[in-house]
Amino acid sequence: MKIGIFGGGQLGRMMALAGYPFNLRFSFYESAENCPSAPLGEVISDKVLGANSLEAFLASADVFTYEFENIPALLVEYIAQHKPVYPSVKSLAVSQNRLNEKQLFAKLGIPAAAYHQVHSQADLQQAVDTLGLPLVVKTTMGGYDGKGQFVIRQTEQVAQAWAELQQGLPLIAEAFIDFERELSMIAVRGQDGDTRCYPLAWNVHHQGILSHSVVPAPDVDAATQAQAEQYITSILHELNHVGVLTLEMFQTPDGLFANETAPRVHNSGHWSIEGAICSQFENHMRAVAGLPLGSTQELRPSAMINIIGQHPKTADILAIPEAHLHLYGKAERVGRKLGHITVTANDSNTLQVRMAQIAKCLPNQMAL
């Protein structure tokens, strides 16, 4: 079976690496000249083939998926008219648009921040008056890694927020949630409806970009894990979703509040490559290919640390016990995800020691 992936970045690369052992083969629809997935399959580019690129991509594979939700839905809809696409266009349409997400959360009874739609500066001022400050203003589509967002802390910032984000209309203004930490739940659903959930991950961000994730998230009780599983399972079944889905949540004294979804493998799930019986990437490939799902059980305490902007010395990382280096073949650039490191240990204390060792090897010296 050949699988076509919209996007040839690191997520597509890791999906292909996970699928190759059971004889899946891949093609990638990607505009970038130097994409991380290029060594793993045919790269079909609209810059090279122009108007013929989509037809060439359609002919290149039996079933299709995507590594990133910020892709034109019309392209996915066209492919879906001819061959299977997993997850479906319905899942893509929800995760692409924050208003659609909020409406889905409300329909399923999943707590989320109060919000207002914003079409004008007057709407934004009304949101401030109604929801109070701080207020988080976001583009409804296209934002990631902190992009397309503005936190209004003073009324005088309304005009600035409007000026910076108005090109992304409509906007969404969300009440600020005073949360203790961010948790993410990753789950997978097969074509037969079988659903499996991974342990909750604790996510820590630096300058709007995910710095590291720890699994299982410290101090998560069984009730919190069960609540998160109930939320994501209801979303999976409502959307008839096939493949991996990620739900980012805020943990508060009042329980879990949904933030956003991603209809794909996710940065906070990279730990599963070495830390789970079956990684998120393999399970996504299994689901897309119509194969039985694998176990999502964690093997031992694990962490994922992103490599951002500058590469560490390979030898320094590999000298740390149970550290695994995953580089994406990208050139250094400020704020760019160049790779990640996964590390495991027998216990949480040893894991923290190894994370601290990794932090010392990173050029930007992030605190872990």
Question: Beta strand pairing status for 195-197 and 181-189?
Answer: antiparallel
Domain of residue 122, CATH code = 3.30.1490.20
Helix (H, G, I), strand (E, B) or coil at 320: coil
Q: 205 and 320 in one domain?
A: yes
Domain of residue 203, CATH code = 3.30.470.20
Q: 308 and 259 in one domain?
A: yes
Q: 142 and 238 in one domain?
A: no
Q: 329 and 344 in one domain?
A: yes
Q: 354 and 301 in one domain?
A: yes
Domain hosting residue 136, numbered range: 114-175
Q: 165 and 188 in one domain?
A: no
Q: What is the pLDDT of residue 145?
A: 64
Is 283 among the domain residues?
A: yes
Q: 167 and 266 in one domain?
A: no
Is 211 among the domain residues?
A: yes
| Predicted structure pTM score | 0.95
Domain of residue 40, CATH code = 3.40.50.20
For residue 143, pLDDT beyond 80: no
Is 47 among the domain residues?
A: yes
Q: 161 and 119 in one domain?
A: yes
- For 276-307, the pLDDT digits (tens) are 999 999 999 999 999 999 999 999 999 999 99
- For 216-230, the pLDDT digits (tens) are 999 999 999 999 999
Is 55 among the domain residues?
A: yes
Spell 100-112 as b/e; 16+ CB within 10 A means b.
bbbebbeeeebbb
Q: 357 and 299 in one domain?
A: yes
Residue 101 · residue 93 · CB < 8 Å = no
Please state the domain count of the chain.
3
- For 171-197, the pLDDT digits (tens) are 999 999 999 999 999 999 999 999 999
Is 108 among the domain residues?
A: no
Instruction: Tell me how far apart the alpha carbons of residues 108 and 341 are, in angstroms, rounded to a whole number.
Output: 36
Q: 278 and 146 in one domain?
A: no
pLDDT classification of 36: cutoffs 50, 70, 90: very high
Is 357 among the domain residues?
A: yes
Q: 120 and 78 in one domain?
A: no
Token duo for residue 194: 């079988």
Token duo for residue 218: 């410290």
Q: 267 and 160 in one domain?
A: no
Token duo for residue 32: 């970038």
Is 97 among the domain residues?
A: no
